[in-house]
Amino acid sequence: MSERTRNIASVAVIAVMSVALLLLTSTQPATSDRVQQIGTRIKCPVCQGESIANSPSQMAEDMMDLVSERVSSGVPDQQIIDELLGSYTGAVLLDPPASGNTLVLWVAPVVALAVGIAMILWWRRHPGPSADDATAPGKSRTRLVIGGVALVLAFAGIVAVAANSLQDRPAAAAGAADIDEQDLSEVSNETMEAVIAANVEDPQINGMRLALAERYFDSGDYRSAFPHYLVVAEDPNATGAEAITALVRLGWMAYDGNGEVETATRLIDEALAIDPGSAVARYVRARVLWCGAGETDQAIETFEELLTDPELATETRTQIEADLEIANDGGGECP
């Protein structure tokens, strides 16, 4: 057999076998499992990089069940995926679409290949000078200095940015927000109730408890304010100032709400036992006695004494001055 015949025979054999293979493989019925296929395109949200088809986790299994249910009820693939993305964002899609902001992913490799081919073709036409032409580096010292400076600058920039972002790291794992640092003015009563109920054990909660009680007190809701003042008044961990405020308020409410002058003075005296100099306690006590027991003179005396204190808060001072005027004026019927 001549070389030529052998060549022709080879080509024929190769051609026939290629066609046969193409026919065999192309007539293979597509046995694609749609559920499995969709599964490989969705990242399991509780795993690291595994698809829901591959992950053994419960969540992945549940999601596969959902996918398979949707597939059997005739929902198209893309819609099933879109539904999942609707609740999980594109971050769980392992198969970025060749559009929008993931188009780059598909285009870049093709561009890289094209650039590579272009580079090779270009290089074939324009090879560099032969190795012998290369001489020792010229101006190397200047270049070295410029390079070095650029390097240091770049490095410094990175370090600066990195260090900066390290400092700015949000305290993500700090847990619950700090009660003390929260501006309470915008917080609703219910919220404060909830916070207090959830932090009964925390001695620092008295501050918020009082703030809430003051709110109820100011709005005249003695019924809601009462239990909070009571807790603070009975709390051995409460600070002196907190206990005084609570006792004084309880005292005023006992008088104002129920007309119980005796209970009121007893409570306020408890406050005065903590701090005999407490201006608020002395003022409220004088006022209760004035209004409840008609002891006008004693009230006037106390008011005048209090007003001599230069550190008296302006608001209290105005209040006392007004009261004093009424008390001094015409028989002293309390307002």
Instruction: Give yes or no for residue 108 binding another protein (CB under 8 A).
Output: yes
Provide the minimum distance between the beta carbon of 235 and another protein in the complex, in angstroms, as a whole number: 18
125/119 Cα distance (integer angstroms): 10
Instruction: Give yes or no for residue 128 binding another protein (CB under 8 A).
Output: yes
Nearer to another protein, 191 or 239 (CB): 191
Provide the 10 A C-beta neighbour count for residue 228.
Answer: 25
321/319 Cα distance (integer angstroms): 5
Q: What is the crossing angle of helices 205-218 and 222-234, to 10°?
A: 150
21/53 Cα distance (integer angstroms): 31
Provide the minimum distance between the beta carbon of 5 and another protein in the complex, in angstroms, as a whole number: 13
Residues 153-182 that bind another protein (CB under 8 A): 154-155, 157-159, 161-163, 165-166, 168-170, 172-177, 179, 182
**Token pair for 92:** 């769980």
317/305 Cα distance (integer angstroms): 11
162/160 Cα distance (integer angstroms): 5
Contact (CB, 8 A) for 78 and 67: no
Give burial (CB, 10 Å; 0-12/13-18/19+) of 192. Answer: buried
Question: Any residues with CB less than 8 A from the CB of 246 and at least 6 apart, and which?
Answer: 210, 213, 229, 230, 232, 233, 238
Residues 18-37 that bind another protein (CB under 8 A): 18, 20-21, 24-28, 36
Residues 62-101 that bind another protein (CB under 8 A): 62-63, 65-66, 84-96, 101
Among 8, 113, 273, 313, binds another protein (CB under 8 A): 113
Provide the minimum distance between the beta carbon of 77 and another protein in the complex, in angstroms, as a whole number: 12
Instruction: Give yes or no for residue 186 binding another protein (CB under 8 A).
Output: yes
Query: CA 8: distance to chain centroid?
Result: 75
Provide the minimum distance between the beta carbon of 187 and another protein in the complex, in angstroms, as a whole number: 6
Nearer to another protein, 1 or 24 (CB): 24
Interface with another protein: number of residues (CB under 8 A): 111
Instruction: Give yes or no for residue 50 binding another protein (CB under 8 A).
Output: yes
Instruction: Give yes or no for residue 198 binding another protein (CB under 8 A).
Output: yes
Residues 254-313 that bind another protein (CB under 8 A): none
Interface region with another protein, contact rule CB under 8 A, candidates 72-80, 125-133, 213-221, 241-249: 125-133
